[in-house]
Structure formats: structure tokens, C-alpha cells
Structure 1
Amino acid sequence: MPGGAANSKIPKGWPAGIVYLQAPAYSKKLADKALEALLVPKASLSSVTVLPKATGPFSTVKIVKISSESHPAYGQNGLFANQHLPPDSFVLPYLGFVHDRSETDEHSDYDLSLDRYLGVGVDASKMGNEARFCNDYRGVGSSANAEFREVWTDIGNGKAEKRMAVYVLSAGKSGKRSKGVAKGEEILVSYGKGFWSERQNAT
């Protein structure tokens, strides 16, 4: 079973106390059924695109401390493009602690669903990579310019692993997003209405 590999090389601006990962860190409590769904023979995905394994630090992005007081994440960090990122392009995987419902941290702002049917999520609150710094577009831009997508990654030995990844949004039918993400622009996603409604209910 693969475990998260901490890297001696960490990106500039990486916060102390957070483990930098090169691969997902799997909980020892994950059931065999969940592992079998996340780790499959690559040959079984013949009709699906399997991405080559990408390891960080990722030169295409950079972690930047937010200095604008009008930004909802003022004083915290954001993820910015270090070069032009074309529409529909892969940016980086979203890595973290892969767990089931029994280990879900209800207070985490970094937990993404990886397999809804099995109740498996990936939480980057205590360990992860640069993708954990993607902020929500609300209060920053008029719309998101990137999104989370489910992907399969080639991890060698004939195996493929289910992951979440950050992608630049496609240009769309109207082509209004045809410029992609410009160099120096913040990479913004949508956390979804559920994320914000839960936090409003908690306050």
C-alpha cells in the first residue's frame, strides 16, 4: 500500500508544520474495498486517460502571501500561475491524507471528496502540496478559472491511482475563457455552495 512520501525539497513559501507530500498518504484504517477502488490495474482503464505521475515542487505555480486587504484570504496564502496556463490544462494533483468517513475532520477546510460512494476523502489540512492553497473565487474574481477533477495517475508496476487534480477551466462554447490563466494570476476554484452554507450555519 502506498504511503505519502515527504519531500526534502519543498516549494518556496511552504508553511512550517505542514508535511509536503509527493504522493497521497493513505490511512491505515482504510478498508480493502476502498483501496481496491482507488488502486487498480492500469490495463483496466484502457478507455480512460491515465496521467503520468507528476511530482513537485511544481514550477508552473507559486505560493504567494495575500497582501490585499480586500481579499477574503488576506494575510494567508494563495496559489498563483508562474507561467501562462492554457484552457483545459492539468495544473497539479491535490494531495493529502486519504481517509474514510470515520476519520473525517468536520472542521477541516481542505477536505475533498475522492469517492462519494465509499465515503473516501483527501484532506490537505496537515499534509499536502501546493494545491491546498487554491482559494475560492468569491470575493476575488467574477468567476473561477480552475476546477477540481477526478483523474487516474500512473504510479508504476502496472497500477493506476485515483486522485483529485486542479485543471484550468475549458474555454467553453463561447470561448470566453480562451485565455486560460495568465502568468501572475491567482488560480481560483469554486468550493461549492455547500461549503459556504455549512460555515454560515456554524456561525
Structure 2
Amino acid sequence: MPSTRSPPGLPKAWPGNIIYLHAPSYSKKLNAVKIKALVLSKSELPPDAQVYKTSSPSTNVKITPITDFVHPAHGQNGLFANQHLPPDAFILPYLGYVHDQTDTDETSDYDLSLDRELGIGVDATKMGNESRFINDFRGVSTAPNAEFRDIYVDSGNGKVEKRVGVFVVSAGKSGKRAKGIGRGQEMLVSYGKGFWTERQNAER
């Protein structure tokens, strides 16, 4: 029987046609000004700025096939928690191909904004990490349990990188989300209404 194990350094169930990234892949079309806005010295950060350390593959998540027929992503994959994750916990970074408007795939469903002012995005269509499998909450739950936030990641040698991170949503003032994300629970974000509007327009 063929082995179901993934090659070393890859998460279990990682698809063979997608490049797995341990760090962002920067477009060669990004100029020096844009690179400098994304890769900077720790000394340039405000003293109270939080810097995260990451490792991959991520041990707190798992890629899982969606077998529920009523799930909008049935037949595809989702990202599930391997352990309990409390409110506001950092889960993992969103990795992919970092590019600007000169290098954008208009058909991509995996492109997130990294720096709106400079028009920089990160696209996980062809390369990325486990975070590319996070589904939208619509049709699955009443609200997202995870969200994207801007972060700085320690990349070594006194440097940090601006990235997008995936976090558990906060408990909220009422505390109704105080449980966080339970072990075995699917992580769900909001893709934003704009994503679905563009998708509907493209299908017309």
C-alpha cells in the first residue's frame, strides 16, 4: 500500500501541487522601498511592539478533508485545531507569494492585503503554509472564531518581517467567546463581504 505519510518538513495531508513555505516568498518585482517596509531592523520598531517567533510545520493545527455535505467547502479541506486555543492566541502566520499590483493574480482566492498603502499582498494560491486552508465562516457558523492581524515576526540576525498572522478572536466585552477554539474544532475567518461580491460578479 502507498504511504499516507507526508515527506519530512511537510504537514500531514499537504497537497503535492502546492509549494510549502517556511517563510514568505518575495516577488523579484518588489522595489527596495517596498522590501524595506516589509523587512526591517528590530531597532526600528516601537519599544512596545510585539515580535513573534514561528516554527513550521505548525503543531497546533491540522489540515482535514471536509466530509460534511452541507459544508460550503465539502470535498475540499479545512484547518482544525490540534489543541485548545484560548482567545487572542496567535495561531500561525499567513504565508505566500508577496507581491505588488504589477504582479497580481486577479483570479486568486488566496490573496490577502499585507500593506494597503504600498499595494502589497500575499497570495497563497501556488505556495503557502497551513493557513491557506482556513475557510470562511458563512454557511458553517454564526460568526468567525479566528481573524487576521498584522504582526512582526523575528527572522533572525536582528531583523523582523511584517506579516499577516492568524489569531483566535478575542473573548469580547460580554465574554461569549471566552472558550476560544476547542481541540478538533474548525478555524473559521471572515473573508469579507467584498470577497463574495467579487466572486458573484465573476460567476455572472
The alignment yields a C-alpha RMSD, in angstroms, of 1.0
TM-score (norm 2): 0.94
Q: What SS is found at the alignment partner of 1:33? A: helix
Note the 1:15-94 alignment, pairs <5 A.
15-45=15-45, 46-52=47-53, 54-94=54-94
For residues 77-135 of structure 1, the C-alpha deviation after alignment (integer angstroms, 9 at most, x for no partner) is 00000110000000000000000111111111100000001100000000000000000
List alignment gaps of at least 5 residues for structure 1.
1-6
Equivalent residue, structure 1, for 2:12? 12
Aligned residues: 196
Q: Distance in 2 between matches of 1:61 and 1:20?
A: 15
Residue 8 (structure 1) shift: 4.6
For residues 134-175 of structure 1, the C-alpha deviation after alignment (integer angstroms, 9 at most, x for no partner) is 000000011000000100011111111000010000000000
For residues 46-81 of structure 1, the C-alpha deviation after alignment (integer angstroms, 9 at most, x for no partner) is 2311112x1211111000000011000000000000
For residues 172-192 of structure 1, the C-alpha deviation after alignment (integer angstroms, 9 at most, x for no partner) is 000000000000000000000
Equivalent residue, structure 2, for 1:173? 173
Note the 1:54-203 alignment, pairs <5 A.
54-203=54-203
Equivalent residue, structure 2, for 1:3? none
List alignment gaps of at least 5 residues for structure 2.
1-6
TM-score (norm 1): 0.95
Amino acid at match of 1:180: G
Q: Distance in 1 between matches of 2:151 and 2:114?
A: 10
